[in-house]
Every structure is written in C-alpha cells, then in structure tokens.
C-alpha cells in the first residue's frame, strides 16, 4: 500500500492509498462525516482553480418566470470548460496534487467514468501537466472514447460492470502510481464543485433556493457547504430522476438503497447512479432540504426542448432534469416565499443528432 496524504484544511492527514474514500463505511454517516469538507476547503479551491475556468453566466427567461410564478435563474455550467461543472472538481484535485496537498508524488490521476468526469479529469490533468488514465466500459460509444483521448488521457477498457471498472482502476493506480479521483466522493472534487456557490451568490445575492441535480452528489454536497456558509437561510433542493428514492434516505438519514449499487432507468445518463457517495450523503443529510424534487423522463424531454427552443441553450439530460424540477407540480406547491430560485444546469454534453424526440 502506498501511503498518501489528503488535506483540504491545511492539515496533512496520512491515509492509506487503497482505502478509498468510496469504501469508508460509517454506521451513522450524518453525524460523523458531515464536516468531511469545509467552507474553508471550498474557498481555497476557488482561489486555486478560478483562473483556468469560465465564470459561467446566469440566464433568465420571462416565459419561465411566468410559468413558475417565481424568479428563476439558470446557472449555465453547460458553458463551463469541458461543457460541464465536472471541470471544477477535477481541476481542484489535479492542482492539489501538484501543490503537494494531497497524494504528493502521484505520477498521475486515474478514474472510471465514461461521461463528463472522465473528460474533465483528462482535461484537468493536461492543464496541470499530470498523466491521466480513464477507465471506460468496453461498450462505451466511440465518440465518448475519442473525446476523452482528445484531452490527452490514456483509455483503459474494462468489462461493463462496477466490479471490473473498480478493479481496473485500482490496478492502474497501483501499477502506475496514479491517484484515484472518484467522480463524486473525493474531497478535492467535492470542494471544487462547491466553488460554483460563490459565483451563484455573486450573481444572485438574494437567492432563496438552489436546485441541483444529483448523481453521486458531489456537486450538490459541495455547493451546499459553501452556499450555507455564505447565506445560512438558503435552501438546497436536490433534484433526482424517478427511482433514486433519495427523499426517504435523507429523511431517515439511512442509506436505504439496495446493493450492489445500480443505475436508475432515466434518459438523464449523467445522473443515473442510484446511490449518493459515502461522503456526499452525510453532507447532504446535514445541508439539503428533506423534500427532493423527482422528475420523469417525459418531464426531462419537455425541459430539454424548452431549453433549446426558448432559451437557445444546449443542455444534457441532467440539466434538463433540474429545469424540469423548477417547472414541476411539487415546486409549484412550495412556499411562495421561495421567490428567487437558482437552477444549476450542470452540463451540455448531449448528442445533437440523437435528441430524445428524434428518430421516432
């Protein structure tokens, strides 16, 4: 086992390299893990990464405001580097390694992801001058494989199941001395995604709520840490695809999901993982509203069309899920004092030649 050090609070903490944060099991995660990443970590992350990233715009739509009866502000991370918020966390991880704050001496970074995190980590590694390897299932579309390689990462193919991808990832990590960067649970990733909160509250200082789509929950956890520190009365609503069953988990503080981890049946492929991360779940138990906004495929498709036709932006399913949430009946029934609502459009990586309503 290679020893590495993780620090996000100025204190270097030794931990075993193979004891991945993904596998830290906690019987009462809400209490024990909620301060895993702090506001200070997010603040430092912001200073570390801001000059390499886009300060993404916030867009509004009079039609949307009329439809929802609220003031809705769309934070457009589809315009972020690599076209997704994932660039924030990945870059924070890479630069933290370069600065020797975490995994000093790591020769590179490795992750498993066929989606936005894989591209983002490949991009971030190239920016930071680190080697990178991305493990993707061997049935991943050629176009996605090429996108990852386009940013300079080495591609490693695995069998299309969670066990194979984890094993392949760990094998590369050991053989090459690469740090494993989990897509949602790595502390640097959570802190990096959280940097978005500073921009949101600069752009909409009196925001009452933020709606954030969640897969593993890295973005929602990170944003919740910084947003709650900056504006304690702000409400963080998590958006999920139908089948994720997050509300029951948040209300009970228990991981009620079946194991092994599975995918939810949703067209929003960026948020199809059912379980939140081991680190992100307790953070969200602490910071997020217990009410979760759940959206169906039909609602996602409708929002996607609205984005293209009315707002003139290209967004992916996960973003459309957040947009659908603000248009939902559940949102309509909420307290009218929640006036200014920020909706995070997480990314724009969608195949424009295969939008859901095409080829029918």
- Residue 55 CB, shortest distance to a copy of itself, in Å, is 10
| Tokens at 298, concatenated | 């039909």
- Residue 96 CB, shortest distance to a copy of itself, in Å, is 23
Q: Which of 355, 338, 357, 360 is nearest to 73 (CA)?
A: 338
Catalytic residues: 86, 114
- Residue 110 CB, shortest distance to a copy of itself, in Å, is 24
Q: Please provide the distance, in angstroms rounded to a whole number, between the alpha carbons at the two ends of the chain.
A: 52
- Is the C-alpha dihedral spanning 108, 109, 114, 119 positive or negative? negative
> What does each C-alpha distance from 267 to 22, 101, 126, 128 come to in angstroms?
25, 38, 30, 33
- Residue 336 CB, shortest distance to a copy of itself, in Å, is 25
> What are φ and ψ of residue 213, in 5° steps?
-70, 145
Rounded Cα gap, residues 246 and 228, in angstroms? 20
Rounded Cα gap, residues 116 and 137, in angstroms? 14
List residues binding a copy of itself (CB under 8 A). 54, 57, 59-60, 62, 78-79, 81, 83, 305, 308-309, 311-315, 348, 352
- Residue 207 CB, shortest distance to a copy of itself, in Å, is 18
Our CA dihedral for 268, 270, 273, 276, rounded to 10 degrees, sits at: -120
Contacts 24+ apart (CB under 8 A), 159-167: 161/137, 162/260, 162/261, 164/137, 165/112, 165/135, 165/137, 166/112
Closer CB to a copy of itself, 44 or 76, in the complex: 76
- Residue 59 CB, shortest distance to a copy of itself, in Å, is 6
Kindly give the pairing relationship between strand 13-16 and strand 3-6: antiparallel
| Tokens at 309, concatenated | 């036709």
DSSP per-residue letters across 119-172: HHHHHHHHHHT-EEEEEEETTS-HHHHHHHHHTTPEEEEE-SSHHHHHHHHHHH
Q: Which of 277, 79, 255 is nearest to 190 (CA)?
A: 277
């Amino acid at each position: 086992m290679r020893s590495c050090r993780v620090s996000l609070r100025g204190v270097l903490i030794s931990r075993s390299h193979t004891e991945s944060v993904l596998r830290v099991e906690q019987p009462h995660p809400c209490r024990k893990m909620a301060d895993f990443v702090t506001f200070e970590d997010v603040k430092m992350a912001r200073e570390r990464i801001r000059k390499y990233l886009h300060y993404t715009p916030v867009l509004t739509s009079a039609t949307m405001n009329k439809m929802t009866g609220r003031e809705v502000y769309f934070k457009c991370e589809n315009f972020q580097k690599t076209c997704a918020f994932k660039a924030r966390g990945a870059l924070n991880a890479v630069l933290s390694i370069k600065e020797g704050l975490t995994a000093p001496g790591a020769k590179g970074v490795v992750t498993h992801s066929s989606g936005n995190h894989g591209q983002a980590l490949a991009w971030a590694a190239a920016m930071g001058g680190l080697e990178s390897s991305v493990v993707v299932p061997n049935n991943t579309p050629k176009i996605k494989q090429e996108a990852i390689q386009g940013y300079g990462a080495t591609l490693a193919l695995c069998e299309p199941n969670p066990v194979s991808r984890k094993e392949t990832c760990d094998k590369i990590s050991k053989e090459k001395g690469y740090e494993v960067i989990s897509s949602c649970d790595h502390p640097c990733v959570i802190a990096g995604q959280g940097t978005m909160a500073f921009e949101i509250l600069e752009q909409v200082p009196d925001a009452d709520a933020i709606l954030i789509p969640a897969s593993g929950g890295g973005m929602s956890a990170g944003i919740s840490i910084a947003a709650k520190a900056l504006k304690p009365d702000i409400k963080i609503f998590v958006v999920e695809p139908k089948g994720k069953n997050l509300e029951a988990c948040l209300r009970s503080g228990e991981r009620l999901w079946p194991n092994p981890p599975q995918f939810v049946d949703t067209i929003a492929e960026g948020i199809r993982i059912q379980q939140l991360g081991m680190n992100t779940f307790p953070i969200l138990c602490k910071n997020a509203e217990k009410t979760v906004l759940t959206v169906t495929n039909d609602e996602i498709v409708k929002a996607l069309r609205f984005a293209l036709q009315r707002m003139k932006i290209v967004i992916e399913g996960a973003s459309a899920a957040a947009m659908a949430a603000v248009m939902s009946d559940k949102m309509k029934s909420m307290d009218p004092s929640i006036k200014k609502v920020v909706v995070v459009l997480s990314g724009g990586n969608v195949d424009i030649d295969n939008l859901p309503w095409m080829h029918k």
